[in-house]
């Protein structure tokens, strides 16, 4: 059977832009979009540890560890300027009502991680880029349930980058929002795929409800997934609040 091109990892930014334009999501990898060899391993050691990640009161699932940063960016033609934003508060996201402030990590202090932020922002096609905006970066370590249910983050784009995984499961799924009818059960997913370390997906948040299946521990071991979940925010999130 020939390979389904919608399931193939895009080889570079041009292919990722084309997939995003045509189907609302794109699959690619850190290597394909130009992150250097060894970056992921170094990033994991530096940030996915007990000094950076914490469980914050009220967060769910209850065994999830996390940290967060918010980057303010501005495009000038093809040049991209990034700096730390002064707020990281999340409001009414992922089915959890109210305002939440999670443990903050300042990613732009590290030149390598600053390049990661710039590279992920470049996944947005040029014609869809805001002149200026904010970029939410969430570092998650999960052991059982990745999310509680399909949801929107209520932002423009979502980018998921899997840094490491032990065990199976954690299959990322997308449901077309037009097909989700209250009280009628979930439709067939547009995409359901287990992302491996190094894999990246970007999708339009308004088009899809998204989530992931629970992790499955290996025999005699404990499952774990380390992932970076980023949002290309609407201006109303931080810059033009209602």
pLDDT tens string 67-78:
999 999 999 988
At 126 the pLDDT is 96
pLDDT-derived band of residue 3, with 50, 70 and 90 as boundaries?
A: very low
Mean pLDDT of 76-93: 88
The count of structural domains within the chain is 1
Could you tell me if 61 and 148 are in contact, meaning their C-beta atoms sit under 8 angstroms apart?
Answer: yes
Mean pLDDT of 168-189: 87
The pTM is what? 0.92
| Average pLDDT for the chain | 90
- Which domain CATH number covers 157? 2.60.120.620
Sign of the C-alpha dihedral computed for residues 144, 150, 151 and 157 taken in this order: positive
- Domain region containing 180: 5-238
pLDDT-derived band of residue 221, with 50, 70 and 90 as boundaries?
A: very high
The bridge status of strand 171-176 relative to strand 191-194 is: antiparallel
């Amino acid at each position: 059977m020939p390979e389904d091109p919608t399931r193939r990892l895009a080889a570079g930014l041009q292919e990722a832009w084309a997939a995003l334009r045509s189907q609302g999501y794109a699959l690619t990898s850190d290597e394909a979009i130009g992150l250097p060899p060894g970056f992921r391993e170094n990033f994991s050691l530096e940030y996915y540890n007990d000094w950076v990640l914490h469980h914050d009161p009220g967060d769910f699932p209850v065994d999830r560890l996390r940290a967060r940063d918010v980057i303010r960016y501005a495009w000038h033609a093809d040049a991209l300027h990034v700096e730390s934003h002064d707020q990281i508060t999340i409001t009414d996201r992922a089915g959890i009502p109210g305002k939440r402030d999670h443990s903050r990590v300042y990613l732009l202090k590290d030149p390598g991680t600053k390049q990661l932020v710039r590279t992920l922002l470049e996944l947005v096609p040029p014609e869809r880029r805001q002149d200026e905006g904010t970029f939410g970066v969430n570092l998650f370590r999960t052991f059982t349930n990745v999310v509680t249910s399909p949801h929107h983050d209520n932002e423009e784009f979502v980018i998921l980058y899997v840094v490491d995984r032990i065990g199976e499961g954690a299959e990322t799924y997308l449901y077309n929002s037009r097909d989700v009818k209250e009280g009628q059960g979930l439709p067939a997913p547009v995409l359901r795929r287990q992302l491996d370390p190094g894999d990246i997906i970007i999708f339009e948040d308004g088009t899809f409800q998204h989530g992931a299946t629970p992790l499955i521990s290996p025999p005699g071991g404990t499952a774990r997934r380390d992932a970076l979940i980023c949002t290309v925010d609407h201006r109303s999130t931080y810059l033009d609040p209602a």
